[in-house]
């Protein structure tokens, strides 16, 4: 691929992780980079998820970059439209547009051992890069379960992350599959307009009240005039969540009080004892992500809503059959069934130094050194990698820590000089992962008695970080070269010495 464009760094994805990486690269003085994006605009999951009611469950001032505060957030919890606009603003403010390559889905990235670079094939052409920063995110590829009979359903079918805005739900019989973060926002938004809404619930979620309000004009004016107040607000929100982490990671038994608040939230709206029993979880709060809504339960209490306590198991024509045998007719099916989180699709397209894909390397479970690098994949770094997720705070905090690690990684490469790469030692990856999994044993995500999307096919939690954001920031402040092998270009083989003449050929 010597004839193709070569860049210092290729970033994959333009959500929070990708744009954050791009800003950090520029602040580090690196301008020779591209951001490869398969869609036609920035935004990542906040571009793809545009379903009715879509909003964030982390406070606005915490769910934004520390280096790009927004004093003008309109609500304490922002909706999808405002978050997407914020990301577009970041792209403009930090001069990222010239680096963005839209319509450039990465088809394959293979490590070139001879040239010490990544050869990248995209839907818009090929290029090579010294370093690849993968910021595709865990919420990028929707997961639709393999339901017998789905192909024969005569109505409309779509996933919450691929919402069909041209399809009118008014007066339709709609089946909502799933009760996760997307579903509890969609249900209240569409319930008033549909004729009938049937919610197929495999596992009931814990739902806390959503204490959302408009941020007053006075507050916004103060934040804009006195920037330190924005930082103070962010710091307060962060500090509260740091203090809460201990209950999730070390003392899950302390979460009983929080469960009582969630039960009271339900009881205010759900008066039918049978329905309340169906909606009450049998696992510890926090084992699955705690959801926030003050409108979900009121919507479920309406006359045109049915809650089926069993996942969808089969479809016969327009009839949907639940695991408990309950049947319902539907004109449209909306899947709120999550994403490929523990089996990232990008991993199938990444080929390392030994010819194996990242997916093959991770077949027994994802594992990366400090959530970023994998053995056998030199100069490859993941933003929002294995065990960097959070159960109760803002992912932006974790992303910024990983950007610190990325910046130091690139500094170390610069110090090494010449053509060089860093490859995580398998022993370092294993040691880091053992420590993470040991800490995971006592967390609510492992002991709470549920099966969540945090767990992979082997039942291991390869998604969440079992500690505070402060601990993770400390762990990713610097790259420890002892955890890496330095890879240099192979030296060209010496020219073979001229063969000595055989005795018969020597002149007498």
Average pLDDT over residues 247-261: 91
Q: Are 373 and 216 in contact (CB under 8 A)?
A: no
pLDDT of residue 377: 98
**What gap in Å lies between CA 378 and CA 132, rounded to an integer?**
9
Average pLDDT, the chain: 94
User: 334 burial class (0-12, 13-18, 19+ CB within 10 angstroms)?
Assistant: buried
pLDDT for the residue 494: 54
pLDDT at 493: 58
The sheet with strand 305-308 has its strands ordered as: 156-159, 332-335, 173-177, 196-200, 305-308
pLDDT in tens, 396-453: 999 999 999 999 999 999 999 889 999 999 999 999 999 999 999 999 999 999 988 8
Q: Is the pLDDT of residue 182 over 80?
A: yes
Predicted local confidence at residue 254, as pLDDT: 87
- What would the pLDDT profile of 490-499 be if each residue is shown by its tens digit? 776 554 554 4
- Quote the pLDDT of residue 86: 98
pLDDT in tens, 269-280: 999 999 999 999
For residue 292, what are its two tokens?
A: 């926030």
Where do runs of H (alpha helix) occur along 62-182? 80-93
Q: What angle do CA 75, 78, 84 make, to 5 degrees?
A: 135
Which pLDDT does position 507 carry in this prediction?
A: 37
Query: Phi first, then psi: what are they for 150, rounded to 5°?
Result: -60, -40
* Rounded mean pLDDT, 8-13: 98
Quickly state the pLDDT bin for 265 (edges 50, 70, 90): very high
Cβ atoms of residues 66 and 133 within 8 Å: no
The 3-state DSSP class for residue 339 equals strand
Q: What is the mean pLDDT of residues 53-65?
A: 97
- What radius of gyration, in Å, describes the C-alpha atoms of the chain? 26
Q: Residue 163: its pLDDT value, please?
A: 98
Give the three-state DSSP class for 227: helix
Please give the pLDDT value at position 139. 85
- Residue 410 contacts residue 30 (beta carbons within 8 Å): yes
Nearest CA-CA partner of 72 in 272, 222, 267: 222
- What pLDDT is recorded for position 453? 87
Q: So what's the pLDDT on residue 443?
A: 95
Give tens-digit pLDDT for 186-211: 999 999 999 999 999 999 999 999 99
pLDDT digits (tens, 9 = 90+) for 281-339: 999 999 999 999 999 999 999 999 999 998 999 999 999 999 999 999 999 999 999 99
Residue 149 has pLDDT above 90, yes or no: yes
What is the rounded end-to-end Cα distance, in angstroms, of the chain? Answer: 54
């Amino acid at each position: 691929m010597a004839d193709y464009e070569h860049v210092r760094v290729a970033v994959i994805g333009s959500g929070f992780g990708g744009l954050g990486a791009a800003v950090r690269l520029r602040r580090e003085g690196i301008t020779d980079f591209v951001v490869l994006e398969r869609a036609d605009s920035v935004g990542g999951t906040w571009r793809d998820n545009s379903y009715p009611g879509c909003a964030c469950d982390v406070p606005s001032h915490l769910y934004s970059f520390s280096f790009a505060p927004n004093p003008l957030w309109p609500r304490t919890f922002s909706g999808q439209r405002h978050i997407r606009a914020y990301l577009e603003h970041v792209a403009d403010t930090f001069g990222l547009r010239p680096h963005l390559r839209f319509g450039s889905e990465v088809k394959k990235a293979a490590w070139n051992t001879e040239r010490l670079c990544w050869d990248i094939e995209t839907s818009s052409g090929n290029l090579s890069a010294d370093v690849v920063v993968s910021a595709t995110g865990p919420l990028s590829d929707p997961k639709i379960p393999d339901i017998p009979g789905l192909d024969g359903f005569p109505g409309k079918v779509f996933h919450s992350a691929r919402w069909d805005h041209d399809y009118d739900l008014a007066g339709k019989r709609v089946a909502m599959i799933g009760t996760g973060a997307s579903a509890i926002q969609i249900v209240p938004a569409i319930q008033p307009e549909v004729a009938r809404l049937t919610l197929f619930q495999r596992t009931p979620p814990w739902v806390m009240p959503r204490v959302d309000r408009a941020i007053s004009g006075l507050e916004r004016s103060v934040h804009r005039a006195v920037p330190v107040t924005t930082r103070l607000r962010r710091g307060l929100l962060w500090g509260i969540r740091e203090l809460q982490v201990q209950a999730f990671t070390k003392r899950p038994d302390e979460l009983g009080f929080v469960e009582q608040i969630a039960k009271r939230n339900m009881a205010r709206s759900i008066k039918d004892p049978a329905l309340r029993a169906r909606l009450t979880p049998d696992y510890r709060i926090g084992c699955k992500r705690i959801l926030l809504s003050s409108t979900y339960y009121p919507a479920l209490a309406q006359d045109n809503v049915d809650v089926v306590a069993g996942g969808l198991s089969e479809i016969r024509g327009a009839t949907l059959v639940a695991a408990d045998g309950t049947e319902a007719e539907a004109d449209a099916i909306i899947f709120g069934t999550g994403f490929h989180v523990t089996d990232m699709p990008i991993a199938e397209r990444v080929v390392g130094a030994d010819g194996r894909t990242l997916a093959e390397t991770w077949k027994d479970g994802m594992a990366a050194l400090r959530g970023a690098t994998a053995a056998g994949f030199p100069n490859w770094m993941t933003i929002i990698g294995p065990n960097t997720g959070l159960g109760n705070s803002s992912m932006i905090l974790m992303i910024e820590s990983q950007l610190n690690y990325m910046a130091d990684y690139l500094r170390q490469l610069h110090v090494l000089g010449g053509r060089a790469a860093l490859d995580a030692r398998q022993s370092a990856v294993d040691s880091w992962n053992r420590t993470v999994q040991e800490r995971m044993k006592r967390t609510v995500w492992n002991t709470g008695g549920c099966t969540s999307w945090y767990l992979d096919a082997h039942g291991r939690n390869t998604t969440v970080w079992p500690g505070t954001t402060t601990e993770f920031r400390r762990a990713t402040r610097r790259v420890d070269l002892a955890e890496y092998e330095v890879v240099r270009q192979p030296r060209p083989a010496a020219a073979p010495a001229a063969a000595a003449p055989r005795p018969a050929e020597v002149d007498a």
